[in-house]
Amino acid sequence: MIRILTYLSISIFSMAVSLAQVKSEEITINNMAIQLPGTLSYASEKSPLIIWVHGSGGVDRNGNVPQYIKQFRDEINKNNIAFFSYDKRTANPKNATFLQEDGVLIADFVSDVKEVVNHFKNDKRFTEIILVGHSQGSLIAMMALNNVDTYISIAGAGETIDKTLVRQITAQNPEFGKLTAAYLKELKETGEIKEVDPNLMGLFAKPNQPFLTSWLSLNPLEEIKNVKVPTLIINGDKDFQVQVSDAEALKNAKTDAELIIIKNMNHVLKNIEKDEDNLASYYSADFPISKELIKTIVEFIHK
């Protein structure tokens, strides 16, 4: 009954907030030469602030074509929670020259998140800072929690990336799965892959190999043990990239975390009623974000 009354009060308050005008600011945060332009949005001051930590690839502040981050922002602002997301360093063309010269390692993404947190840590408009790490961002956020009050993992892997990659590629093509396993073994043992099948060049091209090496060395189950702030772990049961067992493994590694499995939510946070819509939702903004995801996060932050 208490939970019902709490959510009812949040819902009534959210209706009032949704009628208020959401303020938006375009902010560019610099991490040395790297530019991280982003959008801050909030309905009122003295509200908690979510900082979004991206998954893999060149993801912009809105979540590229499926727009899942923008959908998340719009819904979370209605619940008196501020939100900041930025164009990942690999999504901003202005960073291209520096990325070509210096490459990218996992530590660079961690450094970017820390710079963003530092930008907001003394901002009196916000009562607390929450890092929400999605997919690869789940691991990155774990390592960037200085000056952060709360950590939320969405669709975070519960194993080292070599195991995840082999599983995902094997599901698409068993032969390529075997090649992937062999390449990752070679990369771990020698630091490079000498010859790559053209079909797997997008993943294992020479410029990508240092990044993969830096990622292979990290185990989310060990990193999450270092997390000292309140933690929420979320996964969708329609996620075919990261399994429910990954979330359960993270929970087992950090027993005081809260674990929520969301029915009909996929990897890009969309509500999927028909299985044939799962992949289609990656290429369209027409599919709605999971309402249960928003409800779960709002309850966790406001409790």
What pLDDT does residue 4 have? 44
**Torsion sign, CA atoms 58, 282, 171, 199:** negative
What pLDDT does residue 303 have? 85
223 inside domain: no
212 inside domain: yes
Give the chain's domain count. 2
Confidence of residue 19 (pLDDT cuts 50, 70, 90): very low
The set of residues, in sequence order, having a beta carbon less than 8 Å from that of 76 and lying 6+ positions away, is 50, 83, 294, 297, 298
Same structural domain for residues 113 and 208? no
Same structural domain for residues 280 and 139? yes
CB 269 within 8 A of CB 289: yes
224 inside domain: no
Same structural domain for residues 273 and 198? no
Same structural domain for residues 102 and 71? yes
**What domain range is 187 assigned to?**
161-217
CA pair distance 124, 103, nearest whole angstrom = 36
131 inside domain: yes
What pLDDT does residue 163 have? 95
The set of residues, in sequence order, having a beta carbon less than 8 Å from that of 207 and lying 6+ positions away, is 103
Same structural domain for residues 132 and 193? no
Same structural domain for residues 213 and 255? no
226 inside domain: no
Same structural domain for residues 191 and 49? no
Mean pLDDT on 158-186 = 95
What pLDDT does residue 75 have? 97
125 inside domain: yes
Confidence of residue 95 (pLDDT cuts 50, 70, 90): very high
* Largest Cα–Cα separation, the chain: 62
Q: Is the pLDDT of residue 299 over 70?
A: yes
295 inside domain: yes
CA pair distance 137, 155, nearest whole angstrom = 9
266 inside domain: yes
Same structural domain for residues 145 and 259? yes
Q: Is the pLDDT of residue 9 over 50?
A: no
Mean pLDDT on 253-278 = 97
Report the percent of the chain where pLDDT is more than 90. 92
Mean pLDDT on 30-43 = 97
The pTM (predicted TM-score) of the whole model is 0.91
What pLDDT digit, counting tens, does each position of 115-136 carry? 999 999 999 999 999 999 999 9
Mean pLDDT on 156-176 = 95
Q: Is the pLDDT of residue 10 over 60?
A: no
CA pair distance 279, 267, nearest whole angstrom = 10
